[in-house]
Structure 1
């Protein structure tokens, strides 16, 4: 993986990336294509992968995410977390962006651009309610964001997800549309389902990363841990990411490729959402005086979404073949390449930021 926020800024950031990281867009587009083709061409593959699931979440996807997140969380300096929790500007900005602006923006875009497609509209609104707790850690690390800040903000999102997801679902799908004279939708989701998603996708790799650093430094020292252990496990983050993408797109390859017009209709509000959330968060970070690393972390944690939870909720509530489930599956189809592109935008902004300071 790419160097963290403490790396020297003297040389261009992209030039310091490994060959594996520099060709990241190629690997990701290849993984997406393999997944889509496999799901389309191999009979029964999607059904077979979907059968190996718990509460609507594919176990192969869960495995890929755990492999993806562990190396990044093993890099976190847990003794520095107090410097993040004490940054009130960052904490308040993240809460407002994730739990006020993000859901409201997706609600508005879904109704403005999909007024005639209620199933897809509902699926997108659910996307807006599920804040990212997994892949955002990868995008942040690649963009040289603040790893400690990412760990804290992701944990904060996880707590708020358990507490507020069902309430916000009721507000945006039932109460608010009713006030506005629009059709309403019921969302049947339990706090246990959300807590289970948080435990699997964040809790397990977070505990593993913390114990790795604690035991590794205690046994062999920090220099050994950071110069020898982390370089060995680091590449597995990308391997896990690519594996997850292949499985994810294989699961819905047939649905995506057989309904291209529907996919395009769903993609438009998602593209606008990711662009507005990332750019707006980046502008806010600069306006309130955050440095490059924490501004980048703020932007990616606000723009990303928890597709694992949203897919599980859509499948459990509306069914695996529903329009709501399709809308959520299209999310990663748009989110992955867009956020990869924004990683490179961030790296370019980092060079300019350094030059101005």
Structure 2
């Protein structure tokens, strides 16, 4: 890791403080930036996300995607955690902590709305940001891209029924235009741009030309991440400052959910014998959330000033620092992971084929 990457947690913390402070001091500026939307998708944030993930997508050779089937264990684990565990575990945690344990300390008329926001947050698996986390742990890029694409396809079909079931509603209005546009903006456009650029570079100057561009663009990913944080917290700075106790209490089930699902996915991959370069992204995809969609869906369903919208914003507040801690754990535990009996067994069986 570079010095910049090693102290990324510090820069993240500073950007959160700067974003909250600027949002409080110059709300009109952030109001104007926040209103630059199409179907509740913020365009400035989308552009920053492109800058975050395009350098990583440039490294991916789509011709090698056919090999991703060898990582079927990791794909199975991620799908299990994302769709059969995470939304339901968050609903249980929300009911226990927000609906019961913390109820006396929260506004009574917002309890159900807070729980709804937590459920919406957990029902939307991470899309764009997971490329950043995977890059930091040297994850298998083809697995990461394939798993994200598969999650997006499932999300189009499963998001509404799961949220509706867990909210106890017979019908739920999902902002489909937001969902589809988010997938297009955060996945389709960056993938197309990156592959066109990659092919032109390789045709013009070969691998050396691609390597030169990657050395220039790679730092841009982290800078764009930090700029995204400043924007997101600038948008929600006033709510965060006005309700510190509510923020802290809502953070508890989200924190538990992240570490529980990351740990579960990581352990299941180890037990099944999957390679560490797949287990890491699998754990990170299993734990993180598509907070851009969650915030938009909560606002569309319950209103901008609702408890549901605030709960999804808390997800944004802790997403990056907590996921950086998961990245640290995955990197530090690589030796322990690869000593797993199933991992060693699968590796030894595959060695002759290599």
Asked whether the two chains share a fold, i.e. TM above 0.5, the reply is yes
1:354 CA drift (Å) = 5.9
Higher deviation after alignment, 149-158 or 214-223: 214-223
2-side partners of 1:252 and 1:353: how far apart? Answer: 39
For the 8 Å contact 1:136–1:304, the answer to whether it is kept is yes
**Contact 1:163–1:191 (8 Å) recurs in 2:** no
Any idea what the Cα deviations from partners look like across 1:170-222, whole Å, max 9, x if unmatched? 21112xxxxxxxxx586311433311111111111111122222222222212
Counterpart of 1:335?
A: 319
Q: Secondary structure at the match of 2:58?
A: helix
The answer to whether residue 205 in structure 2 is matched with residue 220 in structure 1 is yes
Cα distance change, pair 19–348 in 1 and its aligned pair in 2 (3 A): same
Partner Cα separation in structure 1 for residue 216 and residue 318 of structure 2: 31
1:263/1:231 Cα in 2 relative to 1: closer, same or farther (>3 Å)?
A: same
Name the residue aligned to 2:241.
257
Quote the RMSD (CA, aligned, Å).
1.7
Which position in structure 1 is the counterpart of 2:176?
A: 191
1:315, CA displacement in angstroms?
Answer: 1.3
- For residue 245 of structure 1, what is the aligned residue in structure 2? 229
The SS at the match of 1:75 is coil
Q: Mark the runs of 5 or more structure 2 residues left unpaired by the alignment.
A: 104-110, 345-354
Residue in 2 aligned with 1:113? 97
Q: Distance in 2 between matches of 1:186 and 1:42?
A: 39
Q: 1:268 Cα shift?
A: 0.3
1:151 equivalent in alignment to 2:145: yes
Query: In the alignment, which of 91, 103, 106 is matched to residue 87 of structure 2?
Result: 103
Q: For 1:286 and 1:323, locate their aligned partners in 2 and report how far apart those are by CA, in whole Å.
A: 38
Q: 1:31 aligns with which of 15, 40, 44?
A: 15
CA distance in 2, matches of 1:185, 1:257: 36
CA distance in 2, matches of 1:114, 1:353: 35
Q: Secondary structure at the match of 2:216?
A: helix
Cα distance in 2 for residues equivalent to 1:263 and 1:217 = 49
Q: Is the 8 A contact 2:71 2:143 kept in 1?
A: no
Cα separation, 1, equivalents of 2:253 and 2:27? 32
Alignment correspondent of 1:126: 120
Partner of 2:308: 324
Corresponding residue number in structure 2 for 1:307:
291
> TM-score, normalising length from structure 1?
0.88
Is the partner of 2:156 in helix, strand or coil? helix
Give 1:162's match in structure 2, choosing from 135, 156, 161: 156
CA distance in 2, matches of 1:78, 1:242: 29
CA contact 1:45–1:251 (8 Å) conserved in 2: no
Conserved 8 A contact 2:261-2:283: yes
Aligned mates of 1:252, 1:138 — CA distance in 2:
23
**2:187 corresponds to 1:202:** yes
TM-score normalised to structure 2 length: 0.89
Aligned to 1:42: 26
For 2:350, the equivalent position in structure 1 comes to none
CA distance in 2, matches of 1:249, 1:94: 29
